[in-house]
Amino acid sequence: MYLPEEDLYNLHRETADLLAASTRARDTKLAVGLLIGQARIELRLGQLRDAQATLAQLDEILTHSEGVEGETERLLIQTELLYARGRTPQARRTATVALQSSIQKGNPWDIIELFLIVAGDLRGQAPAHVVVTLNTIAHDGNVHFDQRRRAQLAGGSNSGPGSLLSVSSLQAWLQEQLDRL
């Protein structure tokens, strides 16, 4: 989800309004998407308690609804929230589960998202590889704009294009690193 920093408060308000409407309409699929967006916005705004409450709502819907997707996104948000709260051991365990869910789902952007979430933690054990990967993500036109922007902000160089990202290699490397933590 592209989240321009200057619009976060407006997006949060609009998401809450749409969520109320989707609840009235009993549109579970829309509600799940909106809760995912709302939790991400709350994380970006530093509203950790609100993000936790939103995740609880999302978990409730996912637990009681059949055929509604959103588990991988919930795990990614949960991982980010745990890191934000300083609960690194729990975040690492959740990241491992999120990686398996991302692999099952087969969405390459989820693997990239997970890397961006855990990059700060992985810098301690493989700093050079993390920086190279951030640079690669920051310059790969096949990666979502917001992920490229966040990779650059996290330390990816803004000089010259890097090589294209191999998501399968990133996935294997993430698995190896998470197993070591």
Q: How confident is the model at residue 140 (pLDDT cuts 50, 70, 90)?
A: very high
d(CA 79, CA 83): 6
CB 70 within 8 A of CB 58: yes
Confidence band, pLDDT 50/70/90 cuts, at residue 67: confident
Question: How far is the CA of 50 from the CAs of 12, 56, 105, 163, 165, in angstroms?
Answer: 11, 10, 27, 39, 34
**Identity of the residue numbered 54:** T
- CA–CA gap between residue 88 and residue 84 (Å, rounded): 9
**Whole-number pLDDT of residue 42:** 96
pLDDT at 97 over 90: yes
Q: How would you label 42-57 residue by residue, b for 16+ Cβ within 10 Å and e otherwise?
A: bbbbebeebbbebbeb
Q: 108 falls in which pLDDT band (50, 70, 90)?
A: very high
CA atoms within 13 A on the CB side of 55: 22
